Chain A
Amino acid sequence: ETGVTQTPRHLVMGMTNKKSLKCEQHLGHNAMYWYKQSAKKPLELMFVYSLEERVENNSVPSRFSPECPNSSHLFLHLHTLQPEDSALYLCASSQDYTSGGNNEQFFGPGTRLTVL
C-alpha cells in the first residue's frame, strides 16, 4: 500500500461514453500527477497539480479533462475517447512540486482502461 488509491481498477468504455477516473491520496501531499502508460511506450506525464493548481499540461488532447477539487483528490474526466487511448492510467502524489529537494512520487495501482 502506497497511500494512493485509484478507482475503478478496470474500465471498459465505448467511444461515445463519458467516464471519470478517481485518485485519492492519504499522505498529506501537495502535488498530484496523472500519467499514461501505453503498451511498449514510456510512461507519459499528462497533468500536474500543485496545491490544487494545474502547473503542467503536456499537450494532452482535450478529451482528457483533469480536476483537482482539493489536495487529496484528483479526477480525470474522459469523453469521446479513441481506441488508442486504451492504456494504464496512473496517479501519483509527492510532498511538493518544486525544483530540487526530495520529490519521491508515490503511485497508485492504476486504472486499466479499454476503449472499444
Chain B
Amino acid sequence: SQQGEEDPQALSIQEGENATMNCSYKTSINNLQWYRQNSGRGLVHLILIRSNEREKHSGRLRVTLDTSKKSSSLLITASRAADTASYFCPHRGGADGLTFGKGTHLIIQP
C-alpha cells in the first residue's frame, strides 16, 4: 500500500502555538502533498513537495521531506482557530491515484 500514515492521530494546542504533524510512507514517491479538510467538507490542497526537494514554505506552512526515512512533516506556525481541521498526506508513486490515510485531527483551542 502507498498509503500515507499521519501522526499523531489527534493534536490539540493553544491558539498562537505551532503545530507539527508527521507523515510516513512505504514506497518510493514522485511527490507528496498535504491537504486540509474542515469538518464534513471537501479537501483543500495546501502544498506539494517533490521527491528532490527537502523543504518548502507557503505562508505559515513549512513542509519537510526526508526520502531516506520515507517521512514528511508539516509545521503550522502561529496557529489560528481556523486551522482546526484534519490534515492528510496522500502521495503518488507511479500512475496510481492518490491514497489517503486517516489523517491528523488538529484542534486549536482559543
**Which residues from chain A sit less than 8 Å from chain B, CB to CB?**
2, 4, 33, 35, 40-45, 48, 56, 88, 90, 92, 97-110, 112
Q: How far is the CA of A56 from the CA of B40 in the complex (A)?
A: 25
Task: Please tell me if the beta carbons of A109 and B98 are within 8 angstroms of each other in the complex.
Answer: no
Candidates B40, B93, B98, B102; contact of A45 at CB < 8 Å: B98
Q: Which residues of B contact A105 (CB under 8 A)?
A: 43, 45, 98
Task: Please tell me if the beta carbons of B97 and A45 are within 8 angstroms of each other in the complex.
Answer: yes
What does DSSP make chain B's interface, helix, strand, loop or mixed?
loop
Q: How far is the CA of A109 from the CA of B38 in the complex (A)?
A: 10
Task: Please tell me if the beta carbons of B42 and A109 are within 8 angstroms of each other in the complex.
Answer: yes
Q: How far is the CA of A42 from the CA of B98 in the complex (A)?
A: 12
Report if B48 contacts A (CB, 8 A): yes
**Which residues from chain B sit less than 8 Å from chain A, CB to CB?**
3, 30-31, 33, 35, 40-45, 48, 88, 90, 92-103
Q: How far is the CA of A107 from the CA of B94 in the complex (A)?
A: 21
Q: How far is the CA of A42 from the CA of B6 in the complex (A)?
A: 11
Candidates B43, B44, B94, B102; contact of A99 at CB < 8 Å: B94
Q: Which residues of A contact B97 (CB under 8 A)?
A: 33, 45, 48, 56, 97
Task: Please tell me if the beta carbons of B3 and A2 are within 8 angstroms of each other in the complex.
Answer: no
Q: Chain A residue with minimal CB distance to B30? A: A100
